[in-house]
Amino acid sequence: MRIDAITLFPDMFSVVRDAGVTGRAHKQGIWALQTWNPREFTHDVHRTVDDRPYGGGPGMVMMADPLAQAVSAIRADRAGKQLQDAPVVMLSPTGLQFNQTTAARLSRSSGAIFVCGRYEGIDQRFIDQHVDEQWSLGDFVLSGGEIAAIAMIDATVRLLPGTLNHGESAVQDSFQDSLSGLLDSPHYTRPEVLDGTAVPAVLMSGNHALIERWRREQSLQMTTKNRPDLIQQARDKGLLTQADERYLRSLP
């Protein structure tokens, strides 16, 4: 099994690659790890991988193109080494919970391509076009996806035959939602049009009230689709407005 990790901080993965039972298993060839820095796939002097979000707001958004080129390079490298292709997995608060069942499924596969986001988020067009699955580690906020990826790698590698001397395992239930109690809305940054897909017009309007409502509705829609239990939690806590409830009733 080989894990590929797209990360701005490849040195962080030395923990799981070199230390403990996962490090020993790596040395024994039970599993392999390769890291890919998206800055290596930029074409400007500053090696830019992020930009300001359309529609305004705090933080920066990771650009789609360096990440997409990294994915292409990984797939070419795997094919050149006659390795099976692997799904692209983004570590994200909007993802499905990672638990022991997920770890077991990954341990039986050819591996995964982990995308470790940073900053405010990742351009939604990369997610729509390249990401196969989104996984969440827990109901808390991290500075980036690396720690979550490392935890998932650890949980998976220890299930590989030969890593442990016995069948010990730990069941892990993991949730994560946004600070508002709902999942986050999509993010977009430059370029305005990418492979024929444009940034939603509302984010270019300059109308901050419309942008705020659009983001709220996208958040409600994303949460209804991926984590409907959080909708009920938000309702129980009185976090949903009458406008929210009207929008939820309009969803198919």
Catalytic residues: 93, 120, 158, 173
Helix pair angle (208-226, 228-236), 10° resolution: 120
Tokens 């990984």 belong to which residue?
A: 74
Residue count (the chain): 252
E strands present in 74-151: 88-97, 111-115, 121-122, 133-136
Tokens 């990418």 belong to which residue?
A: 194
For 249, which DSSP code? H
Q: How far apart are CA 124 and CA 122, in angstroms?
A: 6
Q: How far apart are CA 75 and CA 6, in angstroms?
A: 12
Strand order across the 111-115 sheet: 32-36, 2-6, 111-115, 88-97, 133-136
Quick one: how far is CA 92 from the chain centroid? 4
Nearest residue to 6 (alpha-carbon basis) of 150, 158, 114:
114
Beta pairing, strands 61-62 & 50-51: antiparallel
